[in-house]
Amino acid sequence: MENGGNSLPSGPDGVKRKVFYFYDPEVGNYYYGQGHAMKPHRIRMTHALLAHYGLLQDMHVLKPIPARDKDLCRFHADDYVSFLRGITPETQQDQARQLKRFNVGEDCPVFDGLYSFCQTYAGGSVGGAVKLNHGNCDIAINWAGGLHHAKKCEASGFCYVNDIVLAILELLKVHERVLYVDIDIHHGDGVEEAFYTTDRVMTVSFHKFGDYFPGTGDVRDIGHASGKYYSLNVPLDDGIDDESYQSLFKPIMGKVMEVYRPSAVILQCGADSLSGDRLGCFNLSIKGHAECVRYMRSFNVPLLLLGGGGYTIRNVARCWCYETGVALGTELEDKMPQHEYYEYFGPDYTLHVAPSNMENKNSRQILNDIKAKLLDNLSKLQHAPSVPFQERPPDTEFPEADEDQDAIERWERENDMDVDDERKPFSGRVKREIFEPEHKDAAAAREGEHARDMDTTFKETASLTVNENN
């Protein structure tokens, strides 16, 4: 399966792909608050690297059209969307019950422009799905997206709106089967939960499992009813390195592509699985992480690349810049070009960083057992499911407008250049920051486990009926 599957118009692997890249110059201005690990500024840093490596000129650059209320309500409850639209830092003290109900306040704080931020990152992901549906591009990229923890009726794990679920629903208007792959260090629980009972979507998540947020994603969680065996979970332990990771990723994903035969793929590229991440405990290099992108690209199936976690922001920018190069089929020089955020990347000023010498707690035997179990589950799927098509719903109406190159390259510099190195306590009940030496080998603890609420499972997806609450 190394050589890929169905061919795109651009030809076999190794040939350039047509790439659409979604970016809003304002996205880096959103601020979760003092000491919070999630920093949208990392998206602006990534964009700066892309510009100075000369990658923007090789892509079709689009400013995302903000998602509307009715777009968000295709998955999310209308009262939750209404709450997000109305809540502000000034009014939150008067809405204590609503804040608790929707899990907003600590790990998912209220900040200026919260709803606009949700509209922006969701608009990029759904817009990418629309472009793929129309055959306008081979690969669409939205590094601001990938917020995989958000549920139908509540925020979770720094995520408010689940742009991935919305993008999958858009893809399902055209594609019989959609594959979702998640390489964030955290389990992709929100996406798995949404499609747990349907064979229209297969979800595959590689993640840290144990005393770690969100506490879900056991290898035994395989889907339910029509979705049985269409959820795959790859639970991993601290310190996994490139070789061990790929010893699972390629055989499993190769078999998935062979058996499930999706006609569209979403790859969530959470960068908190990199070595040295502020909240992470894996030991992947940027090249090891990007090898997942390279491998999924090789199947020549329409591909949507999304961001996700990533809390050592200089490394997030490095990773997503390099993976944009992988999408384009361009190998980037390690020596970093001068740019406005150059001082973040000292003292080496290189694109790649060496992994640490932390212990790999994933034994060969454990990895082989996980692989054997998942391959056995996949063997129970004799062939790709046959899905009767009904009348296709209309495309999400996004009036696309190409962003002028000069305008798209405007960035505002953050005042505190040491923002990436803050180690102030962050009290959150979901994702907690850990304070250890640079090369830590212990996971961030979590308090409370979010049980799967099967009532929110998106059963309508199987028959492709989309809830259009307004």
Rg (CA), the chain: 20
> Per the annotation, does 224 bind a ligand?
no
Please list, residue by residue across 401-439, b when 16 or more beta carbons sit within 10 angstroms of its beta carbon and e when fewer do: eebeeeebbebeebeeeeebeeeeebebebbbbeeeeee
What whole-number distance in Å separates Cα of residue 375 and Cα of residue 268?
22
**Does 182 belong to an annotated binding site?**
no
Q: Binding residue per annotation — 80?
A: no
Token pair 């991935």 in the structure block, residue: 164
Spatial separation of the C-alpha atoms in residues 125 and 107, rounded to whole Å: 23
DSSP state of 289: H
Residue from 47, 149, 175, 450 carrying the catalytic annotation: 149
C-beta pairs of 295-299 under 8 Å, 24+ apart in sequence: 295/2, 295/249, 295/250, 295/253, 296/181, 296/253, 296/265, 296/267, 297/4, 297/13, 297/17, 297/139, 297/326, 297/327, 298/2, 298/3, 298/4, 298/13, 299/1, 299/4, 299/5, 299/6, 299/257, 299/265
311 assigned ligand-binding residue: yes
Contact 187, 283 (CB under 8 A): no
Distances in Å between the Cα of 113 and the Cα atoms of 22, 108, 334 are: 19, 13, 36
> Is 186 known as a binding-site position?
yes
Any idea of the CA torsion for 290, 295, 301, 305, to the nearest 10 degrees?
-10
**Neighbour-count burial of 220, counting CB atoms closer than 10 A to its CB (0-12 exposed, 13-18 middle, 19+ buried):** exposed
Q: Which two structure tokens, joined as six digits, stand for 18?
A: 């047509």
Tokens matching residue 249: 């990723």
Say how far apart CA 223 and CA 197 lie, in whole Å.
6
Cis ω for the linkage preceding 214 (within 30 of 0): yes
Q: Is 57 exposed, middle or buried (0-12, 13-18, 19+ CB in 10 A)?
A: exposed
Query: Is 339 a known active-site residue?
Result: no
148 DSSP assignment: T
* 157 annotated as belonging to a binding site for a ligand: yes
| CA dist list (Å): 176 to 180, 263, 265 | 13, 7, 12
Give me the DSSP letters along 240-281.
--HHHHHHHHHHHHHHHHHHH--SEEEEE--GGGBTT-SS--
Contacts of 25 (CB under 8 A, 6+ apart): 44, 63, 403, 407, 408, 409, 410, 411
- Binding residues, as ranges, are 107, 157, 184, 186, 272, 311
- Binding residues for substrate, as ranges, are 107, 157, 311
- Binding residues for a divalent metal cation, as ranges, are 184, 186, 272
Active site amino acids: 149
